[in-house]
Every structure is written in C-alpha cells, then in structure tokens.
Amino acid sequence: MRSYLLISFLLHSLCILGLKAQIDESLFNEVESKVIEWRHHIHQNPELSNREFKTSEYVAKHLKSLGIEIQTGVAHTGVVGILEGKMEGKVVALRADMDALPVTERNDLSYKSRVISEFNGQKTGVMHACGHDTHVAILMGVAEVLAKSRNFPGTIKFIFQPAEEGPPPGEEGGALLMVKEGVLENPKVDAIFGLHINSGTHVGKITYKPGGMLAASQRFVINVKGKQAHGSTPWQSIDPIVVGAQIINGLQTIISRESELTNEGAVISVGSIHSGIRFNIIPENLEMIGTIRTLDRDMKELIRNRMQEIVPAIAAAYRAEATINIVDGADITFNDEALTRKMIPTLQRVAGEDKVFEINAITGAEDFSYFQNKVPGLFFFLGGTPLNMEERDAPSHHTPSFIVDDSSMQLGVKALSNLAIDFLMLN
C-alpha cells in the first residue's frame, strides 16, 4: 500500500510539473502587447454600469475567436466564457469587472477618454478611473493564454461582470445579479479568483489579506423637508441646508463616539448634496447621498440602526422632517483562509517572494464579495504605480488623474493564469 501511495504521489507531482510547464513563458510575452492594446481601446471607450454594451461585444468577440464557449446578456451586459480542459476535474472561475465611472479624465494620454454621458440627470465625462479597463484586458489575455494551454483537468469559467460600481437607482446589477442568475452554476464553481489594480502600490507587487480584506458598502439617501422663505427673512423658514449640516455632524458622532474602532474601522461619508436654485431663496428641500463602510457585521447593524434613529431626530429638533433610505452595496470581501494559504505560494512563485505582501484590511469595497459568499474565493491587489513615482504620490482611485502603468498588466495575466491551473492541478 505504501508503494502504491508513493507511486501515485510521484505521478501526481510529475503531472503537476508537466502541466505547469505547458504555460510557456513565451505565451505571456506574445500576449502582453495585445493586452495593452485592448486596455487602451477599452479606456478610450468607457461605459457606465449596466450600459457596458460595446465592452461586452468586444470581450465576446475575443472569446469566440479563441474557440471558448460564451454566454452573453448575463446580468444585463455580462459575458461568461467556459473553457474545458482535456480531463474531468473541478471548476475554477476568474472574474473581471467592466464598468467605468462618471469622472471627467484629466490625464494627457493618447488614449484619453473623451466620452460624455449622463449620470443622475447630469452631464458628465466617463472614465475608467478605477482601473476596470485593466481588469478586462488582463482577463482577455488570460483567456488567450489558457486557450492555447488547454492540457489541464477541469473547467475554467471567465466572468466579465457589469456594474461593480453599483447599478443605477431602480435597477439590479453587478455580482449579486450574476449570482442570482446562476453564474456560479452549470458547471458549479468550486473556487473563484479576482484581482484589482492598485494605485499606490508599485508595479511588480501583489498584496492580499486572509479573511476580511475589504469593507461592506452601503449607499444612503437622506431627504430633508423644511419651509421655503426669502433669504432675507430666515426666521420665516425652516432651513433644510442648516438642518442638513447638523445631520452630517451628527452622523460623524456615530463613528467617533459609538463605534468601537479598536475592533475594525468604519466610515460614513456624504458625497453629494443638492438643495436650492437661487442665492436669495432658502429652499424647501435638500437631498444628500453618501456611503457607509464597515468591516464588522455587528458594527454594520449598529451604524445602520443609529443612522435611522438620529437623522429624523435631528431634523425634528429643528422643526424639519427627514427620511433616510439605506441600500446594501457590497458585502465584506472575505478571502477564504484555507484557499488563501494554499494559493499564496503560486503568487510568490509568479511575482517573487519578496514582492508579495500581506496587508491590513481597507475600507474600500468590492462586490466580488457576493461570489465569495457562495464559493471560496481569493481577491488580491496588483500594483499599478510606475516605479519612477513614489507610491504615496500616486493619484487616488475614482479621481480624474487616476493612472495605471501598462507594464503592470503582464504580472496580472501570469498571476490569474497560474492560480487557475494550480488550483485545478492541486485539488
């Protein structure tokens, strides 16, 4: 029996080594320039959430050219590719998000976005200000590499996801809708991997965290109703702008005085306020929109409950009325600890042990979490900051100056390709 087990182990090891060799380094070199070209095209032609029509067509055409079976129209504009290996085995999914943001680009690039669209009733530029263009191009490159290295067991599912930044109000979308429509079934996915380009981390680096890595996000809308009056007679009004200011201050005390921040971080931010139309009229109504970020489920409920109590109470204290509506965005992005331990050696082999770092949790959010709620998943960051720029000086995500170095993407292709093959071989 011992001899049989030893022979089986050796054969399995040789098989693994042989199949790893099937991803010839030359394939990564061949696809690099294509990935950059695809990324530039997608960057120049950004589309908002649930409106990624041309992007999905671009992706679908590429997958078809590789002989990969595809499904389109998943969660509105999503594309799913299925690549079967030569032997039966497990199923691994790789995900990239496709949507851009209502941001007007400030960079002076040959492939700069000049697209104008409408968001929340306002004209705006559209920009890949979070790097989703790199994610799509990287996964297109992975698909090409793996389609040419098909000697693996099992199945690889490529998920090109719309609306990671959140669907428009009144619509469903994103990872949550993809899961609802069965993207993790037929064939049933055993594990999923995803990456996010990171401004503020140098090219060549990979960062990760086992367990809770990114925060849950919630979107809130507060409407304040006051009483309109002439700006010269404020005593005749119930000023919703003043009430709104008091509500904002009150919300911050939930974080600074009620949230146990030694457990986990939490954030409440107001990102948009609209009220009034003229300098000498105190308006009747005010609307504010913002986000809540939490890394602990109990804190999430505490903050939600206290906001629902505080907002109408503060308004009432100033003789106004206020309502608050809180909608879930992403859940906590939780890296399965056993899967992470198993796969980190792959990332270290690909990037170099000295280039893979464990980090603290951050208050950014990712709806990749909804895939991880159903199957074990590993999500990691890929450095995108040029080496000649200090990491601390890199423009933030979601800003007009956000920029990514093209040289970052080959490591992304290598990382996802090797994670997929190693998972299928080692399980």
Same domain, 172 and 47: yes
Catalytic, 133? Answer no
Catalytic residue among 99, 105, 331, 367: 99
CB atoms within 10 A of CB 219: 16
Q: How many CA atoms are closer than 13 Å to the CA of 33, on its beta-carbon side?
A: 3
What pLDDT is stored for residue 22 in this prediction? 59
Same domain, 376 and 324: no
Same domain, 229 and 203: no
- Which residues, in sequence order, are bridge partners of residue 80? 71, 159
**427/416 Cα distance (integer angstroms):** 17
Number of domains forming the structure of the chain: 2
What pLDDT is stored for residue 385 in this prediction? 98
CATH (domain of 153): 3.40.630.10
What pLDDT is stored for residue 98 in this prediction? 98
**159/194 Cα distance (integer angstroms):** 10
What helix, strand, coil percent values describe the chain, rounded to 5?
Answer: 40, 30, 30
Compute, in degrees rounded to 10, the torsion defined by CA atoms 79, 83, 88, 91: -40
**51/102 Cα distance (integer angstroms):** 12
- Which residues, in sequence order, are bridge partners of residue 159? 80, 95
Is there a domain that residue 345 lies in?
no
What pLDDT is stored for residue 85 in this prediction? 94
Catalytic residue among 133, 164, 296, 405: 164
Residues 6+ apart with CB under 8 A from 57: none
Same domain, 202 and 220: no
Is there a domain that residue 83 lies in?
yes
Contact (CB, 8 A) for 124 and 118: yes
Residues 6+ apart with CB under 8 A from 81: 63, 68, 69, 70, 71, 143, 157, 158, 160
Is there a domain that residue 8 lies in?
yes
* DSSP string covering 411-423: HHHHHHHHHHHHH
pTM of the entire predicted model: 0.87
The encoded tokens of residue 58 equal 């671009």
Sign of the dihedral through C-alpha 405, 343, 422, 62: negative
* Inter-CA distances, 64 with 133, 143, 221, 370, Å: 20, 11, 42, 27
Q: Token match 């949230």: residue? A: 259
Same domain, 61 and 122: yes
Catalytic, 164? Answer yes
Is the omega angle on the peptide bond into residue 187 within 30 degrees of 0, that is, cis? yes
Sign of the dihedral through C-alpha 122, 125, 130, 132: positive
Same domain, 138 and 193: yes
What pLDDT is stored for residue 169 in this prediction? 86
Same domain, 199 and 220: no
Instruction: Give the domain range for residue 250.
Output: 216-328
- Ranges of residues in the chain with a pLDDT under 70 are 1-22, 427
pLDDT digits (tens, 9 = 90+) for 281-291: 999 999 999 99
The encoded tokens of residue 255 equal 């974080």
- Which residues, in sequence order, are bridge partners of residue 356? 206
Is there a domain that residue 340 lies in?
no
Is there a domain that residue 338 lies in?
no
Same domain, 196 and 256: no
Same domain, 238 and 203: no
The encoded tokens of residue 24 equal 């010839």
Residue that is last in its domain, among 313, 328, 343: 328
CB atoms within 10 A of CB 394: 22
* DSSP string covering 67-136: T-EEEEEETTTEEEEEEE-SEEEEEEEEEEE---BS-------TT----EEEETTEEEE-B--SSHHHHH
Is there a domain that residue 348 lies in?
no
- Which residues, in sequence order, are bridge partners of residue 293? 217, 267
Same domain, 231 and 202: no
What pLDDT is stored for residue 123 in this prediction? 97
List the helix and strand counts (H, then E) for the chain. Answer: 10, 18
Is there a domain that residue 333 lies in?
no
**138/156 Cα distance (integer angstroms):** 15
Residues 6+ apart with CB under 8 A from 302: 258, 259
Same domain, 205 and 237: no
What pLDDT is stored for residue 10 in this prediction? 41
Is there a domain that residue 396 lies in?
yes
- Which residues, in sequence order, are bridge partners of residue 287? 223, 274
Contact (CB, 8 A) for 381 and 198: yes
Same domain, 302 and 420: no
* DSSP string covering 198-245: EEEEETT-EEE-SEEEEEEEEEEEEEEE-B-EETT-GGGSB-HHHHHH
- Tell me whether strands 206-208 and 377-385 are parallel, antiparallel or unpaired: antiparallel
CATH (domain of 242): 3.30.70.360
- Look up residue 338 and give its DSSP letter: H
